[in-house]
Amino acid sequence: MRRMRTLVLALTGVLVATPLAAQFDLEPHRASADRLIQSALRDSAAYQRLGRLVDGFGHRMTGAPSLERAIDWIVAEMRRDGFENVRKEPVTVTHWVRGVESAELITPRRTKLAMLGLGRSVGTPPQGIRAPVLVVRNFADLRARAAQARGKIVLFNVPFDTTVASFAGYGGAVVYRGAGADSASAVGAVAALVRSVTPRSLRSPHTGGMSYDTSGRLKKIPAAAISVEDAEMLQRMQDRGERIEVRLTMGARTLAPAVSHNVIAELRGSERPDEVIVMGGHIDSWDVGQGAMDDAGGCVAAWEALRLIKQLNVRPKRTIRVVLWTAEEIGLTGANAYRDAHRAEVDKHVLAMESDNGVFRPRALSFGGVAPGLDVMGRIASLLGSVGVYTARAGGPQADISPLYALGVPVASIDTDGSRYFWYHHSEADMIDKLDPVDLARNVAIFAVIANVVANMDGSLGRAR
C-alpha cells in the first residue's frame, strides 16, 4: 500500500511539475556565476554587514529586545537594498530567561564552577540547591548507580568524541544535555549538570536546549552545563573517594509567550514568480557571545547573496526568497511557523537552502532530493571551483529547512569545515572574530550561484520525496 502510494505520488509529481532537469545545460549560467563569485570576493561587504549586526545588537536570544531590534534593523536595511516584499511574519515564541545563576563547589574546597544554565530549564529556589554530587560517565553508568543518585546532583561527564566527524561527536554527547535532567530525575536526583558539549575548552561553559518529559510523571529538576575542566575536576575528586558537594543557584524562568518574527525578502521571478527558492539562516541565538557564528553568519550569507543577484540587474525567472527564521534555538519555532504560514505554496518551493553550520571554508555541496537533482547540483558545483567547491553529495536538511524537507522540498547546504564549530558553539566565544571575511564571501558566492542557477534553469530538481 505504502509503495503504491509513493509510486502514484511520484508520477503525479512528475506530471504536474516542470520535468526534471535531466538535460540540464550549465553553459547559459556560467557567465552570471562568474560575475557573482567575483563580486562576492571583491570586498568584505558581507563581513562589514555582519559586524554591524552582531556588534550593534549583540546576542539575539528569543524573547529579548535585542532580537527584535536586530530584526527591525535588518528589515530597514533590506528595504534600502531594494528587495521586494520585505516583511516580518509574526511568530509566537517561548520566552525563557536565564536570570542570575551560579554553581559553587563547597566540599572538598570552596570555588566557583564555570557554568551556564540550559535553555528551558526550571530554576532553583532562591537560596539554591545544595547537595552531594554523583558523577556518571553515561546513561548506563547512571542506571548502574541509580541507588546512589537519590537526593544528589548528578553530573554527566560525557566527553565529546573527537575520533569521529564533528557533528557525529556532537550528536553522541548532546543527548545528555537534552535528556540528562529527566534521566537524573527518574532516579531521584535533585538537579543535573552536564559536561559542556565541546571538543575544546578554555574553561568555557556551553549552553543549549534541554527538554522535559511532558507526561507529568517526572519532577522537573534544574539543569546546567559546566566547563569540561570543572567536570574533569569533579570526576577526579570522586575517583579519589572524596565527598563532593555543590550549590547550584539558577534564576531561570519561562515567562508568558512572546511575539517574534521571521524576516522575509524577495526578488520576484519574471516568468514563474509563484515558484520559490528559499535560502536563509536563523536570526535568533543563545544569550551568550554574539551568536555571530550561530547563526548571524548564515543569515548574512543568504542576505548578501540576494543583494549580489539583484546587482546582476537580470531578474531571475523564479522568485528567490531570503528567510531569516526566528526562535530556532528554543525549539525550531520560526521554521515551523514559516511552514504553516506558507503551506499553500510549499509545493511551489523548488529548493530550500540553509547555512547554520558556520560560514567556515566551503568544501562541497550537500543535497537532499532525488538523483537527477543531485546530478544538477553536482554540475552547479563545477562552477564553484574558485571558491573551494567541486562536488555535491547526498545529505539531509539543516534544522530550519527540515519542516519543508518533510513536505517534499529538496534541500541544499554548503558543507563547510566544521572542525572548529563546536569550540565556540553556544558559548561566550561565539563572536565575529572566529569567522574569516574571505570564507564568508565564499559562502555568499555559493548561495548566490546556486539560487540564481536554480531560479533560471529549465526543468526542476524534482521533489525530495
Closer residue to Zn ion in complex, CB, 294/304: 294
CB of 426 to Zn ion, least distance (A): 9
Closer residue to Zn ion in complex, CB, 356/439: 356
Pairing of strands 191-195, 153-156: parallel
CA 388/CA 398 separation, integer angstroms? 21
Q: Which of residues 50-69 bind Zn ion (CB under 5 A)?
A: none
How many residues of this chain bind Zn ion (CB under 5 A)? 3
Q: How far is CA 170 from the centre of its chain?
A: 13
CA 443/CA 353 separation, integer angstroms? 12
CB of 442 to Zn ion, least distance (A): 19
- Residue 287 is a binding residue for Zn ion (CB under 5 A): no
Taking contact as CB under 5 A, which single stretch among the options 353-361, 417-425, 426-434, 436-444 is the one that binds Zn ion? Answer: 353-361
Closer residue to Zn ion in complex, CB, 275/295: 295
Nearest in space to 138 (alpha carbons), one of 207, 208, 195, 209: 195
Own/partner pairs for 27-32, CB < 8 Å, 24+ apart? 28/456, 29/380, 29/383, 29/452, 29/453, 29/456, 29/457, 30/383, 32/312, 32/314, 32/452, 32/456
CB of 116 to Zn ion, least distance (A): 16
Q: In the set 287, 295, 304, 430, which binds Zn ion (CB under 5 A)?
A: 295
Closer residue to Zn ion in complex, CB, 249/355: 355
Taking contact as CB under 5 A, which single stretch among the options 25-33, 80-88, 240-248, 349-357 is the one that binds Zn ion? Answer: 349-357
- Residue 356 is a binding residue for Zn ion (CB under 5 A): yes
CB of 356 to Zn ion, least distance (A): 4
- Residue 354 is a binding residue for Zn ion (CB under 5 A): no
Q: Do residues 424 and 286 touch, judged by C-beta distance below 8 A?
A: no
From residue 365, alpha-carbon distances to 14, 105, 359, 368, 388 in Å are 25, 47, 13, 10, 10
328 labelled catalytic: yes
Closer residue to Zn ion in complex, CB, 287/295: 295
Nearest in space to 168 (alpha carbons), one of 176, 177, 160: 160
Q: How many CB atoms lie within 10 A of CB 126?
A: 8
Q: Between 237 and 276, how does the x/- string for binding to Zn ion read (CB under 5 A)? A: ----------------------------------------
Closer residue to Zn ion in complex, CB, 83/360: 360
Taking contact as CB under 5 A, which single stretch among the options 286-294, 359-367, 383-391, 418-426 is the one that binds Zn ion? Answer: 286-294
CB of 294 to Zn ion, least distance (A): 4
Query: What phi, psi does 170 have (nearest 5°)?
Result: -60, -45
CB of 460 to Zn ion, least distance (A): 29
Out of 68, 275, 304, 328, the active site residue is 328
Q: In the set 294, 354, 400, 439, which binds Zn ion (CB under 5 A)?
A: 294
Run of H or E including 231:
helix 228-239
CA 316/CA 273 separation, integer angstroms? 9
Closer residue to Zn ion in complex, CB, 275/356: 356
Q: Tell me the residue ranges of DSSP E strands in 7-59.
A: none
CB of 432 to Zn ion, least distance (A): 15
Closer residue to Zn ion in complex, CB, 266/354: 354
CA 245/CA 107 separation, integer angstroms? 5
Taking contact as CB under 5 A, which single stretch among the options 36-44, 67-75, 348-356, 371-379 is the one that binds Zn ion? Answer: 348-356
Query: What phi, psi does 449 have (nearest 5°)?
Result: -65, -45
Q: Do residues 222 and 191 touch, judged by C-beta distance below 8 A?
A: yes
Taking contact as CB under 5 A, which single stretch among the options 27-35, 221-229, 295-303, 335-343 is the one that binds Zn ion? Answer: 295-303
Q: What is the DSSP letter of 459?
A: S
Pairing of strands 223-226, 191-195: parallel
Taking contact as CB under 5 A, which single stretch among the options 14-22, 172-180, 351-359, 386-394 is the one that binds Zn ion? Answer: 351-359
CB of 401 to Zn ion, least distance (A): 12
Question: Can you give the binding site for Zn ion, defined by CB under 5 A?
Answer: 294-295, 356
Active site residues per annotation: 328
